[in-house]
Structure 1
């Protein structure tokens, strides 16, 4: 069905006059007449009776009119929707995040929802490797992962994190001197996240423990970071956690960052360059804004410290 012919039909029906309808459509009257004749050929009869007073719908035209109106309303609605999708206003966006972005990712998604209230956005907690697998399969649009990653991914650095000790032993706080850390670890029992829920974190802990020659005594595992922190708060033991966990740690828990090269890593937002749709591009623009604001904030803080020195 040619929508252009239906538009010509509705315009004549609305104006009741071929000349005025042709003028509204910005075409010549002979062209409009040919369009109506083409539609009449498909409909199997005349759609208008023409006389000195204009054009009047025939019975056949009256039957066709409501269906033509409904079809064009749907076509116009689809056209508007496609424009909004192309502009990144609506659509679906799936975002993944890990332990180190447990605070950042939800904040950015909440900010993006305010900008795109009609978009459908999902946010799921998973390991960096699981995010990369889903990005490759097309089941995820954006991931907050730990670096390094393959150079084939689109990537925006969003900061860094490091291991910290979560503890509630206020009479025996971790030492600031990392050389004394093995002795502190040997005095305490540890809780940890199951490997499947945080393989990147587990690998980082192993690298640190190897670097400082210590083997923590693990007495219990949990399936999420909040449970690990709750157990620490209850006095069940200490735990190696991301330093960023201080944002979600219960009040009895102290988070002490570990100042050692093997304890640190960087984070990035990654995406599949071959599947960059407008909604993803809009979210990445927000991430860039956040990063630039953070960099400007750090610069301003350094400038203030310099002025006060």
Structure 2
């Protein structure tokens, strides 16, 4: 039977751990609410920006913006968004596995030829791929504590610079999209060159779209001109795409951490109850042994 003091020490240790995990769950829940609010606040501007670019692509017979054209190069850049910290269940490992599966399925030849580049936002992804000798672009570790729009602009600038210099001709993003507190969607989507198809699809579900008269055709007048407006809007759209991915990943991280810490708290309570039962049995056994010793001593004196 284990020593009573050892069991008591383990119970105290588990109780302290439970308090830490419970506090982390509460902090993650508060951060999740703020992260969701930021996503909801960004959506109206995003919808309108995408809608405007859609009208412009319809207006222009030939979209000559360079970010719609793919450079003649075999280079590929993957932007992988992870977290700076762990203790979030399978959040980081899922997005890393998704990126590795994407590389194996589509970019094995590029990696062998030295034409595959990774831009990792978040410490976990950066360190994981650095240990495996991937070509890393930039250093975006420890950035989620003060997450702001300037980070998205810096990431897009790094991707745009290599795209403009024809170092890479294709840029994909890999990140966790927030679905709910229990699950996340692993997303792989193109960033550059801009696919025209995404501007032709509705920005909202059909049931959310306002009723319009299909017999009327709206003729937009662009001032100063469609091409000038396109040149101004496309960089903003790219920044938004990156900003949206960062917001989604941040919300998904907080949701995953909240669930992981809730499970850890529940496991700690179960383990504490098991040890408490074990402690009570050991204590009862010790008391019984003491009673037997006293009874045996009394009988020996009487005899």
Query: Shorter chain as normaliser: what TM range?
Result: under 0.3
TM-score, scaled to structure 1: 0.20
TM-score, scaled to structure 2: 0.20
Structure number with the bigger relative contact order (C-alpha 8 A, sep ≥ 6) is: 2
* Structure with higher helix content: 2
